Amino acid sequence: METDELTAKDLSPFADLGTAVEVVEAGFKLRCNEWPVTVVREDAGYAVSTNGKTRHHPDAGAVLASPEFADLVKVAKNQAAFLAPERMIGRPVPIACAMKEFEAPLPSWNGSEKPWEGLDGWLRTAQSSRLPGGTDFLLIDGPAGVGKTTIVREAALARAESYDGSAPLILQVVSRGRVLQNIPDLIAYALQDVRSNLTVNQLIVLMRHGLVTLAIDGFDELSDPNGFETAWSGLNGLIGEARGLATFVLAGRETFVSTDTIRKQLTSFNPIRDRLAALSLADPDPGAAREWLLEQNGWSHELLQKEFVEPIFVRGSYALRPFFLHLISLEPEAMASNEPPASDLLTYLVDVMTRREATKFVEALDPPNGNSAVATYERYVGRFLEEVARDLAESQSEALGDDALDLLARVAADGLLPDDQIGAVAQRARTVVFLANDLKAGDVRFAHEQLLQHFLSREALRSVGEGEIPRYIRRNLFGREAIDVFGHVARGREEEANRFLKTVRKRLSAPSRDRTNINLAVLGVAAACAVVFEDADLEIGDVGLGELYFPFAAPKGITFRGTTISILHAASTDLRNVDFGGGVVIVTLDIDDRTCLPSHMPLPQILVRAEVTTADQDTIRAALFPTGVVNNTSARLVWSESLAELLGRIDR
């Protein structure tokens, strides 16, 4: 549709409740903010008259952006104030960026030291070359912790601070831990965050005229079977309503937010006039990571050559992700050891930082037992952060208010610290390095999602091992990244992990009406991979699993029966000991060149590899079992992808 002319449909969302837009010979009349407004077409644009004043605008977009309607100058000012506290300072970790797929002619990616500047420039160039009536889609994919959220946020901040109407504002929509109802709800939350009076319907009009770009951050997180179809259906509806000059940015992990997925799920995508590009983010090159660390305080060539540090720079190491490199850069002394840690890198860094925080508590509070109290305060810091992680998981939120934080600080201290110290400790609790101020004033959150998952994993090991099933185990779903973190935490806590597995075996022997068995199954697999070396004695049956991931080589004794697995992440994993028995359905299998599969397993409905995603069964069979060794499917029912997905949801 053409967007250089205003229509009654464009103005209706701005009319006061209970009033309608009146179409007159030369334009429109309506009531907006309790004032009568007249919009008149002119040879050079539009004249808007209200409250005895008339302003002239060159086009429809300028009318909608004006103070009489959306007042985008004010929105930009509020958005800049909202995002500025999160601004990146200094040279960022040098991640790799590449445009890897295109649908219709689109500009190429011009690299920049700051990738958000590259994103801003690319979006501007794409806007100027848009096809008439077409919608542009940019997918930003990459592993967790690589910087997708940061890049979109920094680009939105830059647009807001320099807003002059020449380029659209970027509205970043993030789920922020909420249970998805529909995309308009998430948009409403985002508008509320920037203190905007705009409604969702008004925003759609602005998108239609190319005044606002919508960026949905973490779209892969909407893959929960209770929300996946809702998410795509909602996006399809939104695209239809915003068609004109709209641009959508979808950020998430490559397994879920891919051009193949877009082509399949976006029924509203028009290959003739719509355009699609994919920006892939990857970990920095090891050499670039070394150079960046040398620029940080306390780092030297000598330190980089230490036996403890060298494995960080192995290509593919998760330590190369910006989040981990940033943590590492803050701990040059801790990384100076020649002794490798007994646990994974994140756990080691968390332990170092926890010990430092405990020392700060002792120095500030000067307890009677002096330095011997450091170990006690170290346990307190860990318990406090576990309680915070649990509260956030159970409320499905990302941040806590002061009152809730104070309560958790006191709960964690109960029975561990003397009563006369609890008040002072609670006052200092929000200052621990693992927490950061949230964008909402007065609230705090974990400094990074990985830290939240680390402490939630510790809490899950402890509480389930003690026989309790927390609400987040009964209600939430654990994705690949959460399962991976859990497995690494379990590996460093063998005694707790074995108690956890004992509870899991007992609970899985009986059915559950909620998600308890789903979560205990996937977490039990991770724990077994972490601490079992002979027989895991873990049988999983009659359940539908969302995401299944093996963080380490699978031991013997893990058996699946009558199980639907929506997504089996098998990239770089060894599953040769896994027993996939009768009635197992795998909807999507994600593999790479280092995947080791068992000799007998059911064919997946969809195979995901770095180079291609396919649903062709002959291609899948040839790729997985080139010698022809595969389960005999002729004697059993082969479920279609849609039926397998439906059965998985019914089981949930």
CB 169 within 8 A of CB 82: no
Residue 81 is predicted with a pLDDT of 93
- DSSP code per residue over 453-483: HHHHHHHHHHHHHTT---HHHHH----HHHH
- What are 265-290's pLDDT values in tens digits? 788 888 888 898 889 888 888 888 89
- Sign of the Cα torsion 281, 284, 288, 292 reads positive
Residue 92: HSE in the Cβ half-sphere, 13 Å Cα cutoff: 22
- DSSP code per residue over 474-540: HH----HHHHHHHHHHHHT-HHHHHHHHHHHHHHHTS--SSSHHHHHHHHHHHHHHHH-SSEEEEEE
Residue 261 is predicted with a pLDDT of 66
- What are 175-230's pLDDT values in tens digits? 654 444 567 888 888 898 888 999 999 999 999 999 999 999 877 655 444 445 55
Q: Angle at Cα 400 formed by Cα 394 and Cα 402, nearest 5°?
A: 135
Residue 460 is predicted with a pLDDT of 98
The alpha-helical segments, DSSP class H, found in 96-218 are 115-128, 148-161, 183-193, 200-208
Regions of the chain with pLDDT less than 50: 1-2, 177-180, 223-227, 632-652
Residue 260 is predicted with a pLDDT of 67
Residue 645 is predicted with a pLDDT of 45
Residue 637 is predicted with a pLDDT of 38
Residue 69 vs residues 19, 63, 78: alpha-carbon distances, Å: 15, 7, 16
Write down the residue that tokens 């690494």 correspond to: 488
Burial 526-561 (b: 16+ CB within 10 A, else e): bbbbbbbeeebebbbbebbbbbbbbbbebbbbbbbe
pTM to 2 decimal places = 0.76
CATH superfamily of 73-282: P-loop containing nucleotide triphosphate hydrolases (3.40.50.300)
- What are 71-98's pLDDT values in tens digits? 999 999 999 999 998 898 888 989 988 8
**The three-state (H, E, C) secondary structure of 300-360, written as one string:** CHHHHCCCCCHHHHCCCCHHHCHHHHHHHHCCCCHHHCCCCCCCCHHHHHHHHHHHHHHHH
- Sign of the Cα torsion 507, 513, 516, 522 reads positive
Residue 119 vs residues 137, 140, 213: alpha-carbon distances, Å: 13, 10, 12
Domain boundaries, the chain: 8-62, 73-282, 449-651
Residue 349 is predicted with a pLDDT of 82
Biggest distance spanned by C-alpha atoms of the chain: 86
